[in-house]
């Protein structure tokens, strides 16, 4: 039984994690572009800002913001459902519902941001965060715009 309880709050960032069932490395190749397309559709439809992210082979993290916490919940439900359908996997795609934690302070936001960008280093997939292409690090830290997925600006979210 899952004892995790998601926490949503209006006008606050939300740290979110989604994990593939059995930690299978399914988020590779074309699957990543499917995920990015779904994120883009959902953020436009629901007025959710995607502030930062990392896509790993078996899970992803992002920080989301919306005026209403229920929009973050709707974003996560929509993206999980569409990802399952478009990736056409046998059996359940995600281990469980995404885990969500509302972020109330700039210090916690910075901690989560650092956690997201350093995830590929902790998993020993790269030696520097800028080497991982499926992360917002290159956009947000290095100022690159030739990245696979552009995050939203943070104006008014912290």
| pLDDT one-digit tens code per residue, 33-77 | 999 999 999 999 999 999 999 999 999 999 999 999 999 999 999
Going edge to edge, which strands form the sheet with 12-19? 49-55, 59-66, 12-19, 99-102
Please state the CATH superfamily assignment of the domain spanning residues 12-140 in this structure. Transposase IS200-like (3.30.70.1290)
Burial 106-142 (b: 16+ CB within 10 A, else e): eeebeebbeebbebbeeeeeeeebeebebbbbbbbee
Domain ranges of the chain: 12-140
CB-count exposure of residue 52 (10 Å: 0-12, 13-18, 19+): buried
**What is the C-alpha to C-alpha distance for residues 42 and 34, in angstroms, rounded to an integer?**
12
73-120 pLDDT tens trace? 999 999 999 999 999 877 789 988 899 999 999 999 999 999 999 999
Is the predicted pLDDT of residue 140 greater than 90, yes or no? yes
Report yes or no: 126 and 119 within 8 Å, Cβ to Cβ.
no
Q: What is the pLDDT of residue 114?
A: 96
- With a threshold of 0.85, does the pTM exceed it? yes
**What is the C-alpha to C-alpha distance for residues 26 and 84, in angstroms, rounded to an integer?**
11
């Amino acid at each position: 039984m899952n004892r995790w309880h998601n926490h949503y709050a209006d006008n606050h960032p939300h740290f979110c994690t989604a994990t593939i069932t059995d930690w299978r490395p399914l988020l590779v190749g074309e699957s990543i572009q499917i995920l990015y397309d779904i994120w883009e559709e959902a953020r436009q439809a629901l007025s959710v800002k995607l502030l930062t992210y990392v896509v790993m082979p078996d899970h992803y993290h992002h920080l989301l913001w919306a005026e209403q916490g229920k929009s973050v919940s709707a974003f996560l439900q929509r993206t999980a459902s569409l990802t399952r359908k478009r990736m056409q996997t046998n059996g359940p795609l995600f281990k469980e519902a995404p885990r969500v934690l509302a972020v109330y302070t700039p210090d916690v936001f910075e901690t989560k941001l650092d956690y997201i960008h350093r995830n590929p280093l902790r998993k020993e997939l790269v030696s520097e965060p800028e080497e991982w292409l499926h992360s917002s690090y290159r956009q947000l830290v290095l100022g690159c715009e030739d990245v696979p997925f552009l995050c939203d600006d943070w104006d008014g979210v912290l």
